[in-house]
Structure 1
Amino acid sequence: MTMTTHQYLNPWHEAGRYGPKYYTTEATPREYGGYLIFNRIPGVCWDIVKDGVCIAQRARMKGARGFIDQLNAPTADLTEAQAYFVKRALKNLPPKPTVEATTAGLQYIIPGAEKRQRPNATQLELLL
């Protein structure tokens, strides 16, 4: 049986603190309420992931599902602290690059980057 490795952004990472920049696991994700739940450390840590970013961690699957239920409930049901962490995690999503046709040819544009460049084949594949 082939194991699949999954990788997702750790939004709490700071240089030398709060774990690696990306979490990597071979755990099989469970989809629940539009989110993925990974039991990254078996029996210890369940990561809640949306669009490649870990937005929360819980000590049990029941806690992970409960948190997702709160996220999917009307916003008024979120505590101020939960809303803060969700906004912070979503803010850390990497920007999606685009390709723009110009008189100089195709330009690969990364939002927030100063330099534009011609896209290579791999970059074009990621965009399509």
Structure 2
Amino acid sequence: ESMEGLARKIMRGKYNPIPAGYSRDLQNVVDRLLVVDPARRASIDDILSHPGVQQRMSSVPSPDSLNAPAIADGPVDLVGTIVVPHRFNDLHKNLPPSRYEAPAKSVEAPVPDVIK
């Protein structure tokens, strides 16, 4: 199935359930996140207070345990990290090809007849 087809299904609220190997709690959380009507969709607070999520919060590593680098107190100078070839015309050889040659195809979101 194409990404466009999947997007249409999700916008209509019709999507395949996640594989059976995953927990029912996860299926419930996914269902609550993919509700089409934003007023009825679960908020982050709703999800974080979900019993299945709460039950698994102890397995989430704390930020301290990740050994994340400290955030700089001031601005970081990234200019010194940029490497430019001696011949500027060779720059294109070091860069990936562009992916925007053709104009992007727009997809119009369908409007549901009945909001659940």
Higher helix share: 2
**TM-score, length basis structure 2:** 0.22
Greater relative CO, 1 or 2 (CA 8 Å, sep 6+): 2
Structure (1/2) with the larger strand percentage: 1
TM-score when scaled to structure 1? 0.21
